[in-house]
Structure 1
C-alpha cells in the first residue's frame, strides 16, 4: 500500500523528468519566500537540500525558481540550519572536505 504524503513535491527537471522532493521548510525573509526541499532519491551518501524561491508567474500563481545569488542562498540556508538544528546533523563544507582527504 502506497502512503500518500502531503509533504511531497514533484518537480520537472531540465530533462523533462519528474523528481520527488520532501518539503522540509518554508522560510520567509527579506520580503521573499523560499522552500527547502530534500530529494527523495538522492544517489550520493550525503543529503543535500535544494532551496528554491517562490515567485509569482504571469498568471498570478506561485512558481519555484532557482536562487542564483550565492549570498542570498547562503543566508536562507543559515536560517534553515538555525530552525532545524534539533532535527538534523549538519556537516560544514570544511568538515566534509577534511573527511575526503
Structure 2
C-alpha cells in the first residue's frame, strides 16, 4: 500500500496516510486515504489541487459535503469488497 506524507497547514506537522484508491472526476484526481495500514481506521478523501506543471502534488481535504458524498459513492463502487462506513 502506498504511503504519502503531507504537511499540515495549521502547524506544519507531518501527516502520514495510506492510499486505498484513486479516481479522477471531471479532470480532478481524488484519493481515498486511511490513517492506518491495517485493521479499522479512519478514512478521508483528498483532492489534488496542483497545476500540471507543478513538481509535487498538492492535496487538500475534501470538506464540501456534496462533493465528498459524490466521490465517496465512486470509491464505494471501486472498493466493493471493502466495508467502508461514513
Corresponding residue number in structure 2 for 1:31: 27
Q: Please, which runs of 5 or more residues in structure 2 have no aligned partner?
A: none
Deviation of the 1:77 alpha carbon: 0.8
Aligned-residue RMSD, C-alpha: 2.4
Which of 29, 53, 56 is matched with 1:60 structurally? 53
Corresponding residue number in structure 1 for 2:11: 15
Name which one, 1 or 2, has greater alpha-carbon Rg. 1
Q: Which of 1 and 2 has higher RCO (CA within 8 Å, sep 6+)?
A: 2
Deviation of the 1:60 alpha carbon: 2.8
Instruction: Write out the 4+ residue segments of structure 1 that deviate beyond 6 Å after TM superposition.
Output: none
- 2-structure distance, mates of 1:28, 1:38: 18
TM-score normalised per structure 1: 0.67
